[in-house]
Amino acid sequence: MHTWKERIGLELSEVSAKEKLISTVGGVLSIFTLILFGRWGLDGTGGTCVIASMGATAVLLFSVPHGQLSQPWPVIAGHGFSAIIGVLCARYISHQALAGACAVGLAIGLMHQFKCIHPPGGATALIAVIGGPPIHDLGYSFVLFPILINAALMVSLAVLLNACFSWRRYPAFLNRRPPAPAPSRPGPSHEEVVAALKRLDSFVDITEDDLVRLCQMLSTSAPAKVEKKPALPHPGLTNHVF
């Protein structure tokens, strides 16, 4: 039997109040900067539509800066490919509802194919279709500005703001944490991690280094007293993100 938390998808998140405050401030500063910058190229209505997808990007960059979905390639390429798909669908599919649906669906497939899944990209693709004349008039230049330039600006802001805190260095490879104590048994190798993810066959938003580090920490820490839960009906890997 699953608990009510598992039924509604309430995940484990042991985050301090300080971390929550930093994420909040990062979101405020990044979007404030982006809105000011965006007003140079579009009127109020178009600018607001474009900022909407970048707002979702801010959530990832400042709440989970070390998540796989938050890294520079997914952010920039995810928005870029999605913008291209959105513009193509807007231009060549006359039925707006069908164009919007195809834009989002094809953007998802393309992001999967090029390993740049970034959920806000779906909003970017949809904006290209339903954004109205201010967006449509830009044509393919919509991909470069505002989308790619805004995405690059968001990544730059994430690098600068997260650099103020040693444990939040962004991108993830800059987050040089002290090595975990020597495990009582060897941690998983790269090949074992890849094989396990293939068996899971579902996207998991955690970097390989963090996954290996987590396994090492679990193998060296003393067993904690936890409330016993009923065993899962199918033992093995579960699709939980830590």
**pLDDT score at 52:** 87
Contact in structure between 160 and 188 (CB atoms under 8 Å): no
State the Cα torsion 177-188-70-83 to the nearest 10°. 150
What is the rounded distance in angstroms from the CA atom of residue 240 to the CA atom of residue 242? 6
pLDDT tens, residue by residue, 61-77: 999 999 999 999 999 99
Tell me what pLDDT residue 124 has.
96
**Residue 8: what residue type?**
I
b/e burial code for range 173-208 (CB count within 10 A of at least 16 → b) = eebeeeebeeeeeebbeeeebeeebeeeeeebbbbe
Residue with tokens 């393919």: 140
Cα gap 111→123, rounded to integer Å: 13
Question: What mean pLDDT is predicted for residues 56-62?
Answer: 96
Q: What is the pLDDT of residue 226?
A: 47
pTM comes to 0.74
Q: Three-class SS string for 164-206?
A: CCHHHCCCHHHCCCCCCCCCCCCCCCHHHHHHHHHHHCCCCCC
% the chain with pLDDT above 70: 67
pLDDT digits (tens, 9 = 90+) for 193-207: 777 767 766 656 666
For helices 44-63 and 120-130, angle between their N-to-C axes, nearest 10 degrees = 170
How far from the centroid of its chain's Cα atoms is residue 210's Cα? 16
